[in-house]
Structures are given as structure tokens and as C-alpha cells.
Amino acid sequence: MSLRHAVLGLLAEMDGSSGYDLMRMFEVSLANVWGATQSQLYGELAKLTADGFIEVVEEGPRGRKAYGVTAAGREELRRWLTETAPKAVRRDEVLLRVFFLGLVTPEQREEYLRGRAAELAERQAGIEAVEEAVSWGEDDLSRYGRLVMEYGKRFMAMRREWMEWALRELEDPPTSAR
Amino acid sequence: MSLRHAVLGLLAEMDGSSGYDLMRMFEVSLANVWGATQSQLYGELAKLTADGFIEVVEEGPRGRKAYGVTAAGREELRRWLTETAPKAVRRDEVLLRVFFLGLVTPEQREEYLRGRAAELAERQAGIEAVEEAVSWGEDDLSRYGRLVMEYGKRFMAMRREWMEWALRELEDPPTSAR
DNA sequence: CAAGACATGTAAGAAGTTACATGATTGG
DNA sequence: CCAATCATGTAACTTCTTACATGTCTTG
């Protein structure tokens, strides 16, 4: 139930946001760590309201609802952060496919890895664009967002290096039984 | 629908496996790239059979069913590998929480990062145990499994380094506005 | 003969995806 | 005035998780 806490956390740091505001936040800053669709977000806002963790603090034009975290919501967030352990979900379709690369031709293997490397380069460019666009302040979200951003950079660099290594490995296999 | 293809791929490389066999395979070799529960696996086997992608090739003791991939299954696998693009799911609860580290005390922040680092060390030990236990041959699964294993090692090393960096960063913040 | 491994399944519910559906406000 | 952006929601479907349920074979 992490989407719930992602919403709660975001709202705790940006009180008075609307679903639409949060959606953009998910797109730019949270995209790399926890994705959410618009549909999911609005649904979760409704559930959080029903559960008393957030409330509508203001209604604006176009039906805009600004939400705020309640005391119960803050407590829930604290509980989540300090009393529950994150579970590592290990699901990576890119790597899953590497497992089965023996089922295609050598050309397709190489094409695959090169394609993924290209995607990575795109994402790297994307993260750098965000880094420049965002005005990094001294608020908590900026402070910890920077840590996450640095992680993203290291992650992508690591993957790229691995892909280059894997390509070399395919070219020149280290056979013990040549 | 990647679980489907994970099962199909595994079965393509290990024809005649049972649900139980595949389950263990998921636990040891696929655990880091695509997790699956027992329940999901048996369900998927039933669906794959209904769709004609796999078939029961033999029935053994204790109700054991050995499956084999059909021609249609092989074609589906090939199609998936060569004609569809993997989608990068970006969901990492460990990093999500880093985003909200401003909501807890400095002690809790440090405790959090140290705790994750400890978990990582455990996983690293686990992967090394698997590496030693598995008899790496020259078959495809071994060949490409080794690539994935190397990725896992690099991934964990990267995370560990990042955590150490983040801990230093928290201790001694790089404030532009001191 | 008992414990442990082998072996398969079902059911209920939570979470996530995709597509549809609608309408208001604002800036050029 | 029209296009873009703001803004919220619903419905159908798929996928994933957790828990329950049952029974067989092998080995010491």
C-alpha cells in the first residue's frame, strides 16, 4: 500500500495541493521511484478522505479540491516511515529478457542491448533536464529529492556500464570449455 | 503480461518441468528480476494451457504434470522477445521513503539508511551463495544467467555506495545558503 | 511410521492499467 | 473564440498477494 503513503507524504510536504497538482508531482519528481496513473491517484484520494487521513481544505475553480493531511494522516505517515519495513520488489522486465536472450539470434541479442542502452541515454538526458528545470531550494523535498536524483544518475550510469560489459561479453565469451 | 513470458521462457529452456520445478526456478534464479508467487504460477500455467501455448507432456507421481512449450508458445515467446519493447516499471519503495526522510528525526534518517545497507549486505551474501551453489554450465540459461547475476552484483554495490554517500551528505549538508 | 519434501489447486481481496467521459477556465 | 490546460471522475479488466485447502511420496 505504498501509493497511499506516497500521496500522503507528498501532501504532507505540499499542503493544499489538488489531485491535479499531485499528478504532475508524480510525473516529474516521483516518476522514477513510484509511478501512478491519474485514475489511481484520484481513487486513492477518495479512499484517503474516507479513511480520515486527508480532507478537502478548499474548493477552487473548475471543481478543484485542495487537500490537507489530517492529524490521523500525519500519524499514519509517521508510523509507515518508522515502524514498517520497505519491501524490495524485484521486477525488471529489461533484465528478465536478458535471461532468455539465448532464444534469439546473435544479431537480435546485440540489437536488444543496444536498444536498451539508447533508452537509458534518453532517460539520462531527461533526468538532467529535470535537474536543471527544478528550482532546488533548502526545503525537505528539495533536500531529499536531490538524494533520490543522485541515485537515479548512479543507477543509470551503472546500467549503461553493465550493458557495455555485457555486449563485450557476448562478443568474446569467456568459455572455460572452448 | 511478463509473468506469462517468464514462464514460457523458462519452460522453453527447461522442457518437461512441473509447476513445482518452475517455482523453485523462480525462487533461485529469477527472484531478482521477476518475482512470482506459487498461486500466480499455477494460475498462469492453467491459462497458458488454455491458450495453447503450453501442454502437459507427462503425468508423474503425486499428480505431477510436466509441461512442454507448443509451437504456438514458441512463436509467442519469439514475438515477445523481438517485437515488443520492455517497459521499465519504476517502483522502489526504499527510494520512495528517502523522499520523505524530512518528516522524521535525524536519528531515524540515519537508522533508515543503515538498515537498508544492512539488508543489502545480506542480499549480497545471498547472491554469492547462489553463485557458488549453481553449477554454471555452457547452456543458454547459465550463459545469460551469469550476465544477470553480474548485474545484480553491480546493482547492489551501486546502492551500497550511494547509501554511504547519502549518509555523509546528511551529516555534512552541502548548503549553498548556510 | 513420521517428517519433510513434493505437488497442485481455489478464493477473496487489493492494486494497477487502460479507456472512456465530461466539463470549466484562461491566455493569446 | 478556440486551443490548451486545468480538473475530476467511472468502468472494466488484469495482475498480484495472502491465506486456505488437500493430498502423495520418499527417506531415515
Residue A178 lies in a domain: no
The answer on A14 and A74 residing in a single domain is yes
The answer on B79 and B8 residing in a single domain is yes
Instruction: Tell me the chain A residues in contact with residue B90 when contact means C-beta distances shorter than 8 Å.
Output: 31-35
Question: Does the C-beta of B55 come within 7 A of strand C?
Answer: no
Distance spanning both ends of chain B, measured CA to CA? 50
Residue B74 lies in a domain: yes
What is the Cα–Cα distance from A67 to A45, expressed in whole angstroms? Answer: 9
The answer on A9 and A55 residing in a single domain is yes
Q: What is the mean pLDDT of residues A126-152?
A: 89
Q: What DSSP line would sit under A39-56, residue for residue?
A: HHHHHHHHHHHHTTSEEE
Instruction: Tell me the chain A residues in contact with residue B6 when contact means C-beta distances shorter than 8 Å.
Output: 96
The answer on B69 and B21 residing in a single domain is yes
The model's confidence at residue A178, banded by pLDDT at 50, 70 and 90, is very low
Q: Residue A10 is part of a domain; what is its CATH number?
A: 1.10.10.10
The answer on B71 and B14 residing in a single domain is yes
Query: B89: how many CB neighbours lie within 10 A of its CB?
Result: 13
Which domain range does residue B116 map to?
Answer: 93-171
**Could you tell me the three cell numbers for B118?**
544492512
pLDDT of residue A151: 96
pLDDT at A144 over 60: yes
The answer on A76 and A8 residing in a single domain is yes
Q: pLDDT tens string for chain B (178 positions)?
A: 899 999 999 999 999 999 999 999 999 889 889 999 999 999 999 999 999 999 999 999 999 999 999 999 999 999 999 999 999 888 999 999 999 999 999 999 999 999 999 999 999 998 888 888 887 888 888 999 999 999 999 999 999 999 999 999 998 877 655 4
Residue A98 lies in a domain: yes
Please, which residues bridge with residue A59 across strands?
A: A65
What average pLDDT does the structure give for chain A? 93
B15 to each of A119, B56, B65, B134, how far by Cα in Å? Answer: 33, 11, 12, 19
The model's confidence at residue A138, banded by pLDDT at 50, 70 and 90, is confident
Residue A67 lies in a domain: yes
Q: Which of A49, A83, A117 is the last residue before a domain boundary?
A: A83
pLDDT in tens, B148-161: 999 999 999 999 99
Which helix (H) or strand (E) covers residue A59, if one does? strand A54-59
Which residue is associated with the grid cell 549503461?
A160
pLDDT in tens, A145-175: 999 999 999 999 999 999 999 999 998 877 6
Whether the CB of A53 is below 8 Å from some CB of chain B: the reply is: no
pLDDT of residue B99: 96
The answer on A104 and A38 residing in a single domain is no
Q: What percent of chain A has pLDDT over 70?
A: 98
Question: Beta B54-59 vs B65-69: how paired, if at all?
Answer: antiparallel
The answer on A106 and A50 residing in a single domain is no
Please, which residues bridge with residue B127 across strands?
A: none
Q: What DSSP line would sit under A107-169, residue for residue?
A: HHHHHHHHHHHHHHHHHHHHHHHHHHHS---SSHHHHHHHHHHHHHHHHHHHHHHHHHHHHHH
Residue B176 lies in a domain: no
Number of domains in chain B: 2
Q: Which of A31, A51, A83 is the last residue before a domain boundary?
A: A83
Interior CA angle at B89 toward B88 and B91, to 5°?
140
Helices (H), chain B: 2-13, 19-25, 38-50, 71-83, 93-99, 106-133, 140-171
pLDDT of residue B60: 94
Residue B178 lies in a domain: no
Residue B37 lies in a domain: yes
The answer on B79 and B98 residing in a single domain is no
B96 to each of A148, B139, B147, how far by Cα in Å? Answer: 8, 38, 28
Residue B52 lies in a domain: yes
Q: What is the mean pLDDT of residues A105-110?
A: 96
Q: Which of A43, A62, A83 is the last residue before a domain boundary?
A: A83
The answer on B78 and B6 residing in a single domain is yes
Q: What is the mean pLDDT of residues A76-90?
A: 93
Chain A closest-CA separation from residue B29 CA (Å): 9
pLDDT at A176 over 70: no
The answer on A154 and A99 residing in a single domain is yes
B9 to each of A136, A170, B5, B81, B121, how far by Cα in Å? Answer: 45, 20, 6, 10, 30
The answer on B101 and B60 residing in a single domain is no
Q: How far is the CA of B1 from the C1' of D14 (A)?
A: 9
pLDDT of residue B178: 44
Selection from A130, A153, A154 nearest residue A142 by Cα: A130
